[in-house]
A and B are shown apart, each in its own frame.
Chain A
């Protein structure tokens, strides 16, 4: 049974009103960091909006369910389908601009396409050199693309050596607007429309040339969910045919002839006639950073929780490993040494990924909620570093100390506990407190296993409030400083105290 009690303080801090309905949820995996027009916030403290949000709501309604977005890092979304549906991050479908990909189709069922996109070239309006796609090669323009995207593959083939990659659409557009890292960007047309139409970028960008490399956005789900697959397929077709999806897409400015083609291809019919003007959706951003502060502070609470829950475990495990490595027999020393080297030699990101996505496939009982995996992963990672700190501390204690304790008739364990460890702890206070401060910042890696802590929240808010990038960055950095500075003070205090003992020898 999972230790649910650990979630109680979390629930108090991060409680959000859950759906009171008895209806089954349609849990759809999405990454809000990806931004508009897929999923974003028009009002910083309001609900998510976006054409995929409305599509999910439409699908849920047709299926008699309630739409529930489940946030996770975009590249990990399909793997959530490998996890139990009823876990904290369990999902029914992946709905977040995923293209038709053979590798995904082999593992998961794919619904019929809900949107046809094309790659669109965007340049600064005042860049007269970019008159079309051929100008990119001729003028050797730097092309900003998303890492691992279709645009990335396309541009690498067409314009080798000219691509600049990033994981974030907003960063790409900012880079082009500010003439920093990229001259142009190539993105899926919905994102291009969203940014080019954004009042904050008024007269900054232009769409250049025709769309290239058409592709389809699909919903992925488990292969066994035949009933759900049929329901989604029917709903998409019906929505295309009766004009529901057109209304949604028009609201976000992304309806075009390709969607008409898609409707005819899937249903054999064209969409129902136009139904007049559709009010365009807002673009997000509040103009002020202050309404965003509570969200950042809540996310900082998660950062603190992860740190204070994992570090004591890391210290405890570190002491055990260090003692085992210094005083233990070979059969204890060897596995501890391997553990330390493996952990120190591999990135924390991979370790968390392994614990969350891979290990449960081998040992289903270890399919824990992300928060437990986050705490465990951080604790194991830091245990290796703490073990080395303590080992160095123990080995810095003169051998005569152990001999004196043993000569008094103490058992080795008692000697370690009462004589060696208390002295070693003083030696390692500075590196250990430094590690604790570092841990605060390393909690940001937990976003890969779906935990929304401070850095991920910053990314999310930054995407929805691109005009506040500087303010948000300072605010986030300030929160990290607020969390780590007291630790620095504590470290100095402890160092002073232990320094007093050391100084005693010179009195």
Chain B
């Protein structure tokens, strides 16, 4: 589903990603873990095309690819982003729109769906994240956890094949964090959904609970890819993170 091959990314003179590679299969839940500054969020942003990179490739599905050092064609970028959704640490809901309009914005403005169809889709996803009754509220009227759940619904409403979660709970207190993780758990357990999920988080218990595979980043490289149980086993490659 997602193939990252030898991606190199510079921020100024700093080599933030140093040949990072990983694969994520359809329906798989992958966790990106590693110490702060290891390039986890940058790698997610490169996969979504929000950051350009200098070398390597990012492939999504059979036909979409971003090539390092090249400005991708506009159409490729749009299709890739509609295929790979993203949930941000700071939620980034649109404050001038209601909750419902936020979730409808992708289907309408990105996919060109009619308003009625977009509304039905949006209501379905709001119900799924437990916020159907808040559809008329403005984002500022919601708690942080509720806002992040709306952001997840918004990302899912464009029917992506994969979703990238960039530290979705790090701006939340433990209670709200748990609220959001319950939604992600629920999505991960839904076999019918078949959405690949890549999650960057420092919430290691959650990683152990939901991740099919763990990718450990160190100094801009993926230094380990394997099952969570193995990664976090005593003496395992990710055990030092705990």
Contacts and interface: CB of A to CB of B under 8 A. Distances in A.
B240 interface: no
Interface string A391-409: 0000000101101111111
Contacts of B78: 409, 411
A400 B105 contact: no
B25 interface: no
A419 B102 CA distance: 10
Interface string B85-97: 1101010111110
Contact of B109 (A418, A422, A423, A504): A418
B111 interface: yes
**Which 5 A-B residue pairings sit nearest by Cβ, starting from the closest?**
A409-B82, A409-B110, A404-B92, A505-B140, A504-B140
A365 B35 CA distance: 68
A131 interface: no
Contacts of A415: 109
A501 B94 CA distance: 12
Contacts of B93: 404
5 contacts: A408-B105, A409-B158, A410-B109, A414-B109, A426-B96
Contact of B94 (A406, A407, A411, A419): A419
B178 to A, nearest CB: 23
A507 interface: yes
Interface in B78-118: 78-79, 81-82, 85-86, 88, 90, 92-96, 105-106, 109-111
B48 interface: yes
Contacts of B110: 408-410, 414
B7 interface: no
B74 interface: yes
Contacts of B106: 408-410
Nearest to A502: B140
B154 interface: yes
A507 B141 contact: yes
B161 interface: no
Given A408-B85, A409-B82, A400 B92 contact: yes
Nearest to B94: A419
Q: How large is the interface on A (under 10, 10 to 19, 20 to 34, 35 or more residues)?
A: 20 to 34
B138 interface: yes
B155 interface: yes
Interface in A452-507: 501-502, 504-507
Nearest to B87: A407
Given A410-B109, A418-B109, 11 more contacts: A400-B88, A400-B90, A401-B94, A404-B86, A404-B88, A407-B155, A408-B85, A410-B110, A419-B94, A423-B95, A501-B95
Given A403-B92, A418-B105, A408 B138 contact: no
B141 A406 contact: no
B96 A408 contact: no
A422 B109 CA distance: 15
A422 B96 CA distance: 7
Nearest to A426: B96
A405 B155 CA distance: 10
A423 B94 CA distance: 9
Contacts of A506: 140
B109 A403 contact: no
Contact of A408 (B79, B140, B141, B155): B155
Interface residues of B, number: 29
Given A403-B88, A414-B109, A408 B94 contact: no
B50 interface: yes
A451 B86 CA distance: 57
Contacts of B109: 405, 408, 410, 414-415, 418
A145 B205 CA distance: 89
Nearest to A404: B92
A418 to B, nearest CB: 5
Interface string B47-90: 01110000000000000000000000010001101100110101
Given A409-B106, A418-B105, A507 B111 contact: no
B74 A407 contact: no
A175 B99 CA distance: 67
Nearest to A419: B94
Interface string B221-238: 000000000000000000
B92 A408 contact: no
A501 B96 contact: yes
A408 B158 contact: yes
A411 B93 CA distance: 17
Given A423-B96, A501-B95, A504-B138, A406 B90 contact: no
B138 A501 contact: yes
Interface in B132-171: 138, 140-141, 151, 154-155, 158
Contacts of A400: 88, 90, 92
B96 A406 contact: no
A401 B88 CA distance: 10
Contacts of B96: 422-423, 426, 501
Contact of A407 (B81, B95, B141): B81
B199 to A, nearest CB: 15
A477 B85 CA distance: 59
Contacts of B86: 404, 407
A408 B94 CA distance: 12
B141 A504 contact: yes
A398 B90 CA distance: 11
Contact of A406 (B50, B105, B111, B154): B50
A407 B94 CA distance: 13
A276 B30 CA distance: 114
A415 B94 CA distance: 11
A401 B154 CA distance: 13
B90 A408 contact: no
A422 B97 CA distance: 10
B138 A407 contact: no
Contacts of B138: 501, 504
Nearest to B106: A408
Contacts of A403: 50, 88, 92
A426 B85 CA distance: 28
Contact of A401 (B79, B82, B92): B92
B85 A407 contact: yes
Nearest to A401: B92
A411 B77 CA distance: 9
Q: Which of A403, A407, A414, A504 has the most CB atoms of chain B within a 10 A radius of its CB?
A: A407
Contacts of A408: 81-82, 85, 105-106, 109-110, 154-155, 158
A373 B92 CA distance: 45
Contacts of A502: 140
Nearest to A498: B96
